[in-house]
A and B are shown apart, each in its own frame.
Chain A
Amino acid sequence: MPTTAAVETPYEQFATIEQQHEAARLGMWFFLATEVLIFGGIFTDFTVYHMLYPKVFAEASRHLAWQLEAYNTVILLTGGATMAFVDYYAERQKRAAILWFLAATILSGIAFLTLKGIEYHGDYTDGKVPFIPGGYSYAGLDPQHAKLFFNFYFLLTGLHAFHMLIAIALLVLLWVRTWRWRQPFAVKRMIIIVGMFWAFIDVVWLFIYNTLYLINR
């Protein structure tokens, strides 16, 4: 019989629950700093090549599906907002609201990945995939060097999509734990941490969209 404990008690190694909360957040920020460095490294390389082949990269960028991904960006930002609602209701321990907004967030993630899949399929039929035999028939400026651009495109969006997959899996796990409601405080704590991860993936996407898709004049 799950107890509706009135007080959230800390784990054994912490003196107070505030200390535990602060430690968890700080730990997550350190982890996110490592993620910034991973994506930052790819952006560094991209910047170097963009600087070396500006016209090639600009034209290749114009061949990307920026309109489709504009909608995708809206979907992702919506998911960011619904996750903020999950946070809000988690603090107030409102189980039903958490379940609805978590579901909405999961749906936004699945929608994003679906559109991404459609985009990838379009890339293949249009011949913009350098590393698949028969997948590359780009006829713009300097197709050989343009391969670099498309490689980075798949690298950045692929790594981002991979992080989305993990995040969606975590959100599904959260939904199940919220449904069970056996440890409400533990669920709340996990929501805060996963919420930070989810929002961070939004941040990465914002930079990806703005650089890959839009820096092409």
Chain B
Amino acid sequence: MSTIADSITDTLKESAGYSQDNYLRAGYGLRSWLLTVDHKRIAWLYLVSITGFFIIGAIAAALVRYDLLAPQGLLDASTYNRAFSLHGIAMVWFYLIPSIPATLGNFLLPIMIGAREVAFPRLNLFSWYLYTCGGIFVILTVILGGVDVGWTFYTPLSTLFSNSAVIVAATGVFIVGFSSILTGINFMVTIHKMRAPGMTWFKLPLFVWAMYATNLVMVLATPVLSLVLLLIALERLIGIGVFDPKLGGDPVLYQHLFWFYSHPAVYIMVLPGMGVASEIIPAFAHKKVFGYKFIAFSALAIAFFGFLVWGHHLFVTTQSVYASMLFSVMSFIVAVPSAIKVFNWTATLYKGSITYDAPMIYALSFVGLFTIGGLTGLFLATLSADIVLHATYFVIAHFHYIMVGGTVSAFLGGLHFWWPKMTGRMYPEIWARFAALVLFIGFNLTFFPQFLLGLAGMPRRYFSYPPDFQSLNVLSSAGAVVLGVGYLLPLAYLLWSLRYGKHATDNPWEAEGLEWQTTSPPPVHNFHQLPVIKET
């Protein structure tokens, strides 16, 4: 084993003699970015791309909220269907799923495990190109007039009846699915094989555990998505139909296959956020995290049990009530590890010396809003309640609390927390705290009324609604404007900080972790000198 450490240190010492002393200075041209195999630069490539798709998804959301200002709908039904479909597709596959893993994960994973690179650097770059390719198909879909089958592509609408650009959209998602799979394989092998000597599993940061669980789900679930999209495309193109009722096929079988992927997919979206929270909260409570092993194992538990619950999306279909009971029980079980995490984060805060820097505000938002979203998931997992709540705005509020209140808050929190490390600059703290609060307020204004609308019976995916629902809808749309400001502010001041921000020290937060023991920004090979992994 000592020969491995020796050879790493020797190579690192050689690299310290390079003229550039950080990764941002190792080349300035477009080629140095587009042909990079440095995981840190690839993280930036992803950051730019996902921001672009977030904007596309946000414009689609704006169209949705605009339509819902008036009961008769300010758009026509066909346009509305295309708007919410684009919103779902862009946000789920082109923003949420890659967001934390491909940006923060790419940047931090090798550094956090004491490695110089991921296991397969060229594959990493190829993943980004695949992602971009898939994105081009989304743009093509929009140009071709959009797609109106939702992000869920349910049959027989998607296979037999829709006249929109279904195959183009499905191809885009198929391609980006492969990007996911390749990144997943890369990160799994990296965590298993590239840890520095002495970096045992239980010394790993909780963010790495979260990445492990996330990428495990990515690798195992995404192929099934590829399959269903292929089946839809084949049925539309060639007529090989396996869900067609005229042949004795069952459209519910499509839903089984689709949700076998898409339920674990929502854990792909939330687990990284949990990892970010597990890093930020101890840092700003200035206290070691409570229950490290519980948090680590609960991430794995969520990943595993997340594969056993998919039928809860099929409660009101012809799925048998006995299967529904099984899935309902499983859905209750999967809530337990999430709750364990919330308890541990709270216990970490207890008797800590808490400072409320912007990352902490985002992390605390995450915990609170995720808890609300998660608890409302239990209502939906209850069979009798779901009969009433299925396909209403209650569901929409539930998952937006988790994905926006949860994941997006965590993403922004992590971006702020590690911004000094990634850029060598500090962001303006007062503006950041202000923006975090604007986000929190705007978010709740937008989505809390939707719980009430759902309870009152307003269905989702309808372009119009009974006049009684208007006031809550207008409130929600107004909240969306505030939420939008909450997103624009960080975009503005983070860009500003790249040029004018205060220079950051190596460890501005005085936090634990290998990433804070290297320079801000890090050198090309992450460490000038391989740090010694302490016995703790």
Q: Which residues of A contact B242 (CB under 8 A)?
A: 45, 49, 148, 151-152, 155
Measured CB to CB, the closest approach of chain B to A49, in angstroms, equals: 7
**Option from A16, A27, A41, A155 in Cβ contact (under 8 Å) with B257:** A41
Measured CB to CB, the closest approach of chain B to A11, in angstroms, equals: 9
Which B188-245 residues sit within 8 Å CB-CB of chain A? 188-189, 192-194, 219-220, 222-224, 226-228, 231, 234, 238-242
B257 contacts A45, C-beta separation under 8 Å = yes
A38 contacts B223, C-beta separation under 8 Å = yes
Q: Which of B65-73, B111-119, B142-150, B444-452 contacts A (4 or more CB under 8 A)?
A: B111-119
Q: Which residues of B contact A42 (CB under 8 A)?
A: 227
- Inter-chain CA distance A154–B234, complex, in Å, is 11
Q: With A30-B185, A34-B181, A144-B248 as given contacts, are A45 and B253 in contact (CB-CB < 8 Å)?
A: yes
Chain B 253-268 interface 0/1 with A at a Cβ cutoff of 8 Å (1 = within) = 1000100100000000
Q: Which residues of B contact A30 (CB under 8 A)?
A: 184-185, 188-189, 219
Q: Which residues of B contact A152 (CB under 8 A)?
A: 242
Count the A-B residue pairs with Cβ separation under 8 angstroms: how many? 105
**Option from B8, B223, B248 in Cβ contact (under 8 Å) with A41:** B223
A41 contacts B185, C-beta separation under 8 Å = no
B248 contacts A37, C-beta separation under 8 Å = no
B248 contacts A34, C-beta separation under 8 Å = no
A34 contacts B4, C-beta separation under 8 Å = no
Chain A 18-47 interface 0/1 with B at a Cβ cutoff of 8 Å (1 = within) = 010011001100110111011001101100
User: A53 an interface residue at 8 Å Cβ cutoff?
Assistant: yes
**Option from B4, B185, B226, B239 in Cβ contact (under 8 Å) with A38:** B226
User: B31 an interface residue at 8 Å Cβ cutoff?
Assistant: no
User: B508 an interface residue at 8 Å Cβ cutoff?
Assistant: no
Q: Which residues of B contact A6 (CB under 8 A)?
A: none
**Option from A13, A31, A49 in Cβ contact (under 8 Å) with B118:** A13
Q: Which residues of B contact A27 (CB under 8 A)?
A: 119-120, 185-186, 189
Q: With A26-B193, A27-B120, A30-B188 as given contacts, are A49 and B219 in contact (CB-CB < 8 Å)?
A: no
User: A15 an interface residue at 8 Å Cβ cutoff?
Assistant: yes
**Option from A23, A38, A49 in Cβ contact (under 8 Å) with B224:** A38
- Inter-chain CA distance A15–B116, complex, in Å, is 10
- Inter-chain CA distance A24–B411, complex, in Å, is 31
B241 contacts A151, C-beta separation under 8 Å = yes
Measured CB to CB, the closest approach of chain A to B196, in angstroms, equals: 9
User: B430 an interface residue at 8 Å Cβ cutoff?
Assistant: no
A148 contacts B247, C-beta separation under 8 Å = yes
B193 contacts A13, C-beta separation under 8 Å = no
User: A52 an interface residue at 8 Å Cβ cutoff?
Assistant: yes
Q: How large is the interface on B (under 10, 10 to 19, 20 to 34, 35 or more residues)?
A: 35 or more
* A152 to chain B: closest residue by CB: B242
- Inter-chain CA distance A146–B390, complex, in Å, is 35
- Inter-chain CA distance A41–B4, complex, in Å, is 42
- Inter-chain CA distance A27–B257, complex, in Å, is 25
User: A131 an interface residue at 8 Å Cβ cutoff?
Assistant: yes
A148 contacts B257, C-beta separation under 8 Å = no
Q: Which residues of A contact B240 (CB under 8 A)?
A: 130-131, 151, 154-155
Measured CB to CB, the closest approach of chain B to A160, in angstroms, equals: 14
Q: Which residues of A contact B246 (CB under 8 A)?
A: 144
- Inter-chain CA distance A22–B193, complex, in Å, is 8
* B221 to chain A: closest residue by CB: A37
User: B251 an interface residue at 8 Å Cβ cutoff?
Assistant: no
User: A188 an interface residue at 8 Å Cβ cutoff?
Assistant: no
Measured CB to CB, the closest approach of chain B to A32, in angstroms, equals: 10
User: A48 an interface residue at 8 Å Cβ cutoff?
Assistant: yes
* B254 to chain A: closest residue by CB: A45
User: A180 an interface residue at 8 Å Cβ cutoff?
Assistant: no
Q: Which residues of A contact B368 (CB under 8 A)?
A: none
- Inter-chain CA distance A48–B250, complex, in Å, is 10
A145 contacts B248, C-beta separation under 8 Å = yes
**Option from A23, A31, A38 in Cβ contact (under 8 Å) with B227:** A38
Q: Which residues of B contact A128 (CB under 8 A)?
A: none
Q: Which residues of B contact A13 (CB under 8 A)?
A: 115-119, 121, 194
Q: Which residues of A contact B116 (CB under 8 A)?
A: 12-13
B248 contacts A49, C-beta separation under 8 Å = yes
Q: Which residues of A contact B531 (CB under 8 A)?
A: none
- Inter-chain CA distance A148–B243, complex, in Å, is 9
Measured CB to CB, the closest approach of chain A to B524, in angstroms, equals: 11
Measured CB to CB, the closest approach of chain B to A131, in angstroms, equals: 4
A16 contacts B248, C-beta separation under 8 Å = no
- Inter-chain CA distance A63–B163, complex, in Å, is 36
* B197 to chain A: closest residue by CB: A15
- Inter-chain CA distance A177–B357, complex, in Å, is 57
- Inter-chain CA distance A30–B29, complex, in Å, is 35
- Inter-chain CA distance A12–B3, complex, in Å, is 16
Which B1-18 residues sit within 8 Å CB-CB of chain A? 3-4, 7-8, 11
* B237 to chain A: closest residue by CB: A131
Q: With A13-B194, A30-B184, A45-B242 as given contacts, are A144 and B247 in contact (CB-CB < 8 Å)?
A: yes
B238 contacts A131, C-beta separation under 8 Å = yes
Q: Which residues of B contact A44 (CB under 8 A)?
A: 257
A41 contacts B220, C-beta separation under 8 Å = no
**Option from B120, B220, B249 in Cβ contact (under 8 Å) with A34:** B220
Q: List 11 A-B contacts (CB under 8 A).
A: A12-B117, A16-B3, A26-B193, A27-B119, A30-B185, A31-B185, A35-B223, A38-B227, A144-B248, A151-B240, A154-B240
Going nearest first, the 6 A-B pairs with the smallest beta carbon separation are A131-B239, A13-B117, A145-B248, A37-B223, A34-B223, A41-B227
- The chain B residues found within 8 Å of chain A, CB to CB, are 3-4, 7-8, 11, 115-121, 181, 184-186, 188-189, 192-194, 219-220, 222-224, 226-228, 231, 234, 238-242, 246-250, 253, 257, 260
Beyond A30-B185, A35-B223, A155-B242, 15 additional contacts (C-beta under 8 Å) are A19-B193, A23-B119, A23-B194, A26-B188, A26-B192, A27-B120, A30-B189, A34-B220, A38-B223, A38-B227, A41-B227, A53-B248, A145-B248, A148-B249, A154-B240
